[in-house]
Structure 1
């Protein structure tokens, strides 16, 4: 449970790193930016890890979900191949954003470009119980597309 004394602690690792921020009062995610000394080439069809220049201490019991920015992915066709990514509460390394260029040409990423967003979510951990059989449901073992079009 968060208290008035709970913060998302952020460490700036490199010059040029920007502290994440919520762009509007109702925004669920805070923007993460590319911390680069110069433009970075994102070759078409390839994945590149983009540094943010930040490390953070997410409070125990929470995770940082790293998600694509909708405008960046739809307008530029630059996506995150592992979306959403998870930053665990015990990770203290630099936050790196994997980006995949799905456009038809190479893309130059500029320093300070907003490349992803992070949503802080509570994590629920359940005890695990191995059972010989699972209870039945109406859906059963129906997989992809089994509930309709």
Structure 2
């Protein structure tokens, strides 16, 4: 368990509540849209930044907060993150924003209402690396320098 400091920046958050886990075993804390009026996200239009009304401070370089789409909104409605995944570093103390994008190629616009749960925040451990410059790798892997698709297409093989 890690203690994360949270600051309320928009008083409406007090009505909706702080980000919370949807169940006892949920990995993500729901983030709310702290907006004053409905926000329409047009299909395939540029992503929009939606404020959450909170700032969080992790304060421990052994952790990071990741923002992910909510699976129901992403799969059923097409509301995903414009940046794929959001990264909140341990030393960041500003407002958390969600980059919202409507991935539907020809679908309907998606309207985000004030207080809607629009994304989830997952706190994960981080292993920091030390980079060591080498001329050649100490061992050669089976894959080697094979790039995209070099390890197969994902089709199961018969045993």
The corresponding residue for 2:115 is 112
| RMSD (Å), alpha carbons | 1.3
Describe how 1:10-21 pairs up with structure 2 within 5 A. Answer: 10-17=6-13, 18-21=17-20
The corresponding residue for 2:35 is 36
| Residue 136, structure 1, aligned to residue 140, structure 2 | yes
The alpha-carbon deviation at position 136 of structure 1 amounts to 1.0
The corresponding residue for 2:50 is 50
The corresponding residue for 2:93 is 92
The corresponding residue for 1:63 is 64
In structure 2, C-alpha distance between the alignment counterparts of 1:15 and 1:36, rounded to whole Å:
11
4+ long deviations beyond 6 Å: none
- Between Structure 1 and Structure 2, how many residues are aligned? 145
Q: Provide the secondary structure at the position in 1 that maps to 2:26.
A: coil
In structure 1, C-alpha distance between the alignment counterparts of 2:122 and 2:99, rounded to whole Å:
17
In structure 2, C-alpha distance between the alignment counterparts of 1:140 and 1:78, rounded to whole Å:
37
The alpha-carbon deviation at position 68 of structure 1 amounts to 0.8
Give TM-score, length-normalised by structure 1: 0.91
In structure 1, C-alpha distance between the alignment counterparts of 2:119 and 2:70, rounded to whole Å:
5
